[in-house]
Structure 1
Amino acid sequence: MKSTQLIDLNYRGRFAPSPTGPLHFGSLVAAVGSYLDAKYHHGKWLVRIEDVDSQREVPGAASGILYQLERLGMEWDEEVIYQSQRSGAYLEALNILNKQGLIYPCTCSRKEIADSSIIGLNGRVYPGTCLKNPASIKNVHALRIQTNNDPIQFEDILNGTYSQRLKSDVGDFVLRRADGIYAYQLAVVVDDAAQNITHVVRGADLLDSTPRQIFLQQLLGYPIPQYLHLPVVTNARGEKLSKQTNAASITISNALPQLVDAVHFLGQQPPPEILEGNISSFWQWAQQNWSVDLIAH
């Protein structure tokens, strides 16, 4: 069953792993989904290494991930971008938001936030303590953005309508941490705009981050990509596969069966004899037969 999606020849997608370890089956599914959606549309597929948080980076992981992708037959179309080299772009965006009067310093500790906040969609909702009582920038501080309760709604290609009211559901969120590291929400928005990304295909664990990103895109005057959030791979305990849950690395020497398992997880229906071929023939079949309509949601 072919996808009912119209072909978009201007399609620009990306896979943006964090170098916290090698690819595991969960990250393989995200890579395969983003790659196939781009190739089905005859579009570009880019790779970005999201290494903005140096404290979480595992030495050698970035080059290891690129090596794994190459061995899996996944070819990126443009130069790999590294977030660790883009601090200037993030600062520029932060300054634009600051000129709009939306950025404020926050000196609250995690304990202070825990003691005074309520639980929202993504953990504790910051109660705006430092907005009501401005903090001194002489002290070590994070930078937060002031949100509002206007509904932010978008149509996810797979999951349909999704809506949030940021002030009550998430709260004013951090754009630069107290240690000077730029937050994921800001970095990903700046980089998607810089790379002219038109379609973001990623795991559904990031679905509730999307309204925050759309909020920033609107404020910065960036185009808003189309979003497709794929089902997340979990372990036997129902936990998302990750380094924290000890997810095993994929085995490059056994690449083809793992690629077939990945498309099966995404609802695709490759013929059994595909395992008798090679990686090249697998990708040829997968690109021609990719169908978002088959993905469970």
Structure 2
Amino acid sequence: MILISWNIDSLNAALTGTSARAEETRKVLTKIHDQNPDVLAIQETKLRATGPTKKHQEILRAHFPEYRYVWRSSEEPARKGYAGTMYLYKKDLTPQVTYPTIGAPEPMDQEGRIITLEFPDVFVTQVYTPNSGNGLKRLSERQLWDAKYLAYLQELDQVKPVLASGDYNVAHTEIDLKHPDNNHHSAGFTDEERVDFTKLLAAGFTDTFREVNGAVEGVYSWWAQRVRTAKANNSGWRIDYWLASNRIAGQVKRSEMMDTGARADHCPILLEIDL
């Protein structure tokens, strides 16, 4: 089974945009399709509450004709066109789809951050974790989210094994970003966020990239768009993950980043597992 997860930074821009960046994004979508994934998880869709427009649907069908899709958008009282998630999965698959709320601080549960697919032998769930924000204004709320999300994954794991992916907005260790010394008080690398991620792994989950690739350095999943030289200099962060319940972690064959060329922001992450 091949699964891919990607923070796309606006599905609308990817599908209908005319900029050079939009063209780059569509090339990545083609590269993803060429991998023939069984499941594709997309974060930060930024779609309106009613979901994909007719034009979006037509383009999705053209690019991914073998797939069905489900989506979840931000809804009141959350901001419009904010966050959001989507799954595309092969038409021969018949997962049960749920859109959980986890009791997070308002309005996080209304920001469209989690979708879960239940298959006969595994849960596949994705998350777009809230960012702690400029000046760490949202850090305390983020910590509450982390606790609630951990409890949710544990609930799933008690039923059957879990594969969890997404933009977790945290670089776990110092080798997960280029400049750790300068970022100990930056959102995504605070002690609090890193401790919470450690707790998540300690609760029975494996960071599959580290499981497969060991302590390799210089491999990241996000490069700041606002810093023009970030991608060229590989000044990045690894904040996107495929996690697996410990009891199936040994069945992972590949866990890797997909190349996006000069395109900054997030890259897709690929997991191959023998289920």
Place the TM-score, normalised by the shorter chain, in its bin: 0.3 to 0.5
Query: What's the TM-score once normalised by structure 1's chain length?
Result: 0.32
Higher helix share: 1
Query: What's the TM-score once normalised by structure 2's chain length?
Result: 0.34
Decide which structure has the larger Cα Rg and report it.
1
Greater relative CO, 1 or 2 (CA 8 Å, sep 6+): 1
